[in-house]
Structure 1
Amino acid sequence: MMTTNHMTDHGLTEREQVEQASVPSTPNADITVIGAGIIGLANAIALQKAGFRVRVIDKQGVAAGASFGNAGHFATEQVFPLADPAMLPKLPGMLLDPLGPFRIQPRYFLKALPWFMRFLVNMLPARRAHNSAAIKALNQKSISAWQQLVSDCACPELLKLEGSLLVFEQTPSIEVERVYQSYRAAGVAVKLLSGDEVRGLEPDLSPNIKHGLWFTDVGHTQDPTELCQRLATQFSKQGGELVIGEVTGLRYVDKAIEGGKYEKDEQGEQAVSVCVADGANYQSDKLLLSAGAWSKPLARQLGFKVPLETERGYHLMMPQQSRLQRPVASFERKFIITPMSRGTCLAGTVEFGGLKAPLVEARADCLLPHAKALLPGVLAGAKTSQGERWMGFRPSLPDSLPVLGASPKSDKIFFAFGHQHLGLTWAAFGAELMAKTIKGEKPLVDMSPYRIDRF
């Protein structure tokens, strides 16, 4: 009987020795997914479809993190990595602007510095080209994968395919043309519009808008939380088990058999055991780590030091309804407006401050003046006190790529986390890729750019 948490051959670090018989254990599952956000749920359903018995464990429940309040934008037009050298001369102005889209909490600067150094390295042309190609590989089938997933979950109404707009107020025409051509060169379906053509699509938008890019093959959801709930409902209907509990430890154990005894299987392998805060012990043949911003310490237990940082993203949900049919992003203001069932969602700021600092109301409130400028008729008399402030944690890696794939140290451990601003976008297609990977089949794209040991 194995009594230690040390997984010498498989990558887990040492923890206290625990007597196996003293730990309550639940019936076995084929695979345990850690995380009940949009990534974890999409993976759980894909794994069920592939024939696995699946358990999902989350410390708070369905859509309790970034999946609750994201901008609802299936952003397949975003083919360029965030590490863009063009942002460097703009950075001081962004940091000094109280309404700016970017902030680093002073106390967190030194802690975030190693991540930013890696971020700068990914601005090099060769790295940027490599990362962009890997982003496009995930984008290419994301919308069609989502169409299939919402059909499977009987909620096609939660995926709107009206495209999205990027609007320009003061940017010179020559720069607008450059941006337009850069997207075209990257293979993005896009149309260049005049200000009047923009307002022809969206009459509520400001007369100050001079140009727009219409990304035609893009979608949005009017309720990200409800989308997660519908996926969770489908998961349960298909026999999935959802456990609410904070994961405190990961280890290998001998497999449980009848009578409370433990033994290895015919190949001498063992089960993966997930310990949660209440002392319960959940066993499965395999494990998929998909815990978003909380994946870093769990990956460390699995023997991997991953440079994952937390981008604290804010939204302000205003109750006013507009006539917008699609998300509208501002090139100059660096934020996005999405029409949703609960009102008008304003989102898009980035703050580095870690997982423990509380929400900063001013970071949400600064979105309203920008939105008033773009939707003057809709939000003319709006006040921040009318809105719902929210902050969520985007799990971001310095190369703008997620961690997807198998552990190089164990055939029982798999990863799907670190999706930065594109978690919603990549969830369905990424889940298809992971299901094939876990089944031992060849995925549709080369998975090597997303491997966990690339750092």
Structure 2
Amino acid sequence: MSEITVIGAGIIGITTALELQRRGFKVTVLDRKGVCAETSQGNAGGFAFSEIEPVATPNIMRKAPKWLIDPLGPLSLPPAYARQMVPWLWRFWRASRPARYEAGVRAQSAMMTLSRHALERLLPRVAGEAWIRREGQLQLYENARDFAANRPGWQMREALGISCTYLDRPEEIAEIQPGLSPRFTRAGFTPDWYTVRDPKEWTLHLAQALRDAGGRIEIAEVLGLRPQENGIELLTSQGPRHAPQVVLSAGAWSHHLARDLGDRMPLEPERGYNTTFPTATFDLRTHLTFSMHGFVATKIGDGLRIGGAVELGGLHLPPNYKRAEAMLQKAMAFLPGLQPSGGVQWMGYRPSLPDSLPALGTARATDRVIYAFGHGHLGLTQSAGTAEVVADLAMGQRPALDLAPFSPQRFD
């Protein structure tokens, strides 16, 4: 039995480890804090298969300055971190040019198709259907102008076979989600958007399935990687250890280890915020995206989560929970009756590359290390697809996805 070590016990690492174990590998997962102890626990729980448009759209650089004026708006760049962001923002601008944007849409669409089918293959193997809510998603707009500005993205989804419904009257919106503020007069509905009951509990469920199949999960921080003739030496907080193969899926911390293998990845953590309420005081019937305000409302367990925003502030600046409070104040106006009691605030780090595509492929220094990180907002969504791609690579097989757009060396 071939041995493989997965670095990172978030949703990407655990789902990948489970697929590797299923294919006959002896799998060990290493994480500095444990299963789903960091970013994966606080996402919005969406399998967002309709979100094929990269963040770097052709008109994004015209919108960004307006967003940055508002320190609590959907996009923030703290002055203390602005200088460090210049190289990433340069690549982000280049990714927004029309030809690269269109290539990114095609690549993301292919990844989403694979991931949706891979999730459907995974669910019966882990008794997972009870965890899934197939309730769709509403993207809401306050006027015809905002909806028209976003219409090309909806038309692009339709052209790629994604089911969409346009709603241009409040009463049509109310049939899907009653009780919204009447300020929302336009919407797009994507019925094939799923949510998971609770992203942390889902990851823990998959981790238990991995253990039941013979996989191991250990707490140890990986501090460095050194290629050797017959594998990889991992320098860990528990001492050095050897692995014949390694999967690097440590989220926003992955690029630091990739440097040991000759790959300098332009990865930046997008800091996202949310407030989670244990009990839902608003009758939420579908996932809501407030498109022009940069946040969502979603069901988590029996409660409700209000979260989103993008703060480009690195890994070390202290959290600014005023951002979570600003989203909550808007949510109270948009969802009449929402009671802000018992909420817990949280901040996490989305591992984002400038073109919104993950790094999938082998390291420059050795094909014994496979990269699987940089999924940005779409880690949960693309977890099952990523797992199948990585398992194919580990077995020396050709994946069902063209990996050229996802090459870890594409930013050279």
Separation (CA, whole Å) in 2 of partners of 1:177 and 1:358: 37
Q: 1:250 to 1:176 in 2, by over 3 A?
A: closer
Mapped partners of 2:375, 2:258: distance in 1: 15
Q: Which residue of 1 aligns with 2:161?
A: 187
Match of 1:129 among 102, 118, 124: 102
Please show how residues 31-70 of structure 1 align to structure 2 within 5 Å.
Answer: 31-70=4-43
Instruction: Identify which of 362, 371, 394 aligns with 1:406.
Output: 362
Q: Which residue of 2 aligns with 1:266?
A: none
Listed one character per residue, the Cα deviations across residues 327-353 of structure 1 (whole Å, up to 9, x for unaligned) are: 110122121111111511111110011
Contact kept, 8 Å, 1:143 with 1:218, in 2: the verdict is no
Gap regions ≥5 residues in structure 1: 1-27, 254-268
Does the residue aligned with 1:392 lie in a helix, a strand or coil? Answer: strand
Give deviations 1:381-416, integer Å, cap 9, x for gaps.
426xx3111011011111111000223432311110
1:203 corresponds to which letter in structure 2?
Answer: P
Q: In structure 2, what is the equivalent of residue 324 of structure 1?
A: 284
What TM-score, normalized to structure 2?
A: 0.95
Q: How does 1:286-365 map to 2 (within 5 A)?
A: 286-321=245-280, 322-365=282-325
Match of 1:229 among 194, 200, 204: 204
Are 1:240 and 2:196 an aligned pair?
Answer: no
Shift of 1:369: 1.8
Q: Which residue of 2 aligns with 1:117?
A: 90
Q: Structure 1 pair 126/211, CA: closer, same or farther in 2 (3 Å)?
A: same
Q: Residues 29 and 174 from structure 1, CA distance in 2 versus in 1: closer, same or farther, beyond 3 angstroms? A: closer
Partner in structure 2 of residue 151 of structure 1: 124
Query: SS at 2:133's partner residue?
Result: coil
Could you report, residue by residue, the CA deviation over 1:73-130 in whole angstroms, capped at 9, with x for unpaired residues?
A: 1111111111123232322221122441110111100001110011001111111111
- 2:409 is matched with which residue? 453
Matched position secondary structure for 2:310: strand
**Counterpart-to-counterpart distance in 2, 1:79 and 1:252:** 36
State whether structure 2 residue 247 is matched by structure 1 residue 274. Answer: no
* CA displacement, residues 16-37 of structure 1 (integer Å, 9 cap, x when unaligned): xxxxxxxxxxxx9710000000
Rounded to whole Å, the distance in 2 between the matches of 1:187 and 1:105 is 39
The yes-or-no answer on 1:139 pairing with 2:139 is no
**Alpha-carbon distance in structure 1 between the residues aligned to 2:292 and 2:363:** 41
* Equivalent position of 1:436 in the other structure: 392
Residues 200 and 292 (structure 1), Cα distance of their counterparts in 2 relative to 1, 3 Å cut: same
The code of the aligned residue for 1:242 comes to I
Please tell me the residue identity of whatever aligns with 1:53: K
Equivalent residues of 2:273, 2:321 under 8 A apart: no
Q: Is the alpha carbon distance of 1:355 and 1:98 closer, same or farther for their aligned partners in structure 2, counting shifts above 3 Å?
A: closer
Deviation at 1:272, TM superposition (A): 1.7
Quick check: 179-188 or 396-405, which moved more? 179-188
Runs of 4+ in 1 over 6 A off after TM superposition: none
Structure 2 residue runs without a partner (length 5+): none
Assess if the C-alpha contact under 8 Å between 1:317 and 1:344 holds in 2: yes
Distance 1:299 1:116 in 2: 21
Whole-angstrom distance in 2 between the partners of 1:175 and 1:122: 20
Q: Distance in 1 between matches of 2:234 and 2:153?
A: 48
Partner of 2:69: 96
Task: Give secondary structure in 2 for the equivalent of 1:452.
Answer: coil
Q: Distance in 2 between matches of 1:92 and 1:351?
A: 14
Question: Per-residue displacement from partner, 1:129-159 (whole Å, max 9, x unpaired)?
Answer: 1111111110013223223223222232212
- C-alpha offsets along residues 38-65 of structure 1, whole Å, 9 cap, x if unaligned? 0000110111111100100000111112
Aligned partners of 1:60 and 1:177: how far apart in 2?
A: 43
Counterpart mapping for 1:248-259 below 5 A: 248-253=223-228
Q: Give the conservation status (yes or no) of the 8 Å contact 1:60–1:244.
A: yes
Q: Partner of 1:8 in structure 2?
A: none
Distance (whole Å) between structure 2 residues aligned to residue 286 and residue 447 of structure 1? 20
Asked if the contact 1:311–1:350 (Cα under 8 Å) also holds between the matched residues in 2, the reply is yes
TM-score (norm 1): 0.86
Letter in 2 for 1:390: W
Partner of 1:264: none
Q: Give the aligned residue type for 1:76.
A: F
Letter in 2 for 1:138: M
- Percentage identity across aligned positions? 39
Aligned to 2:175: 200
Partner of 1:167: 140
CA distance in 2, matches of 1:355, 1:117: 20
Counterpart Cα distance in 1 of 2:92 and 2:253: 20
**RMSD between superposed Cα atoms in Å:** 1.7
Q: Which amino acid aligns with 2:53?
A: F
Distance in 2, Cα, partners of 1:370 & 1:180? 25
- Work out the CA distance in 2 between the residues paired with 1:398 and 1:174: 26
Q: Which has the larger radius of gyration?
A: 1
Matching residue's letter, 1:425? T
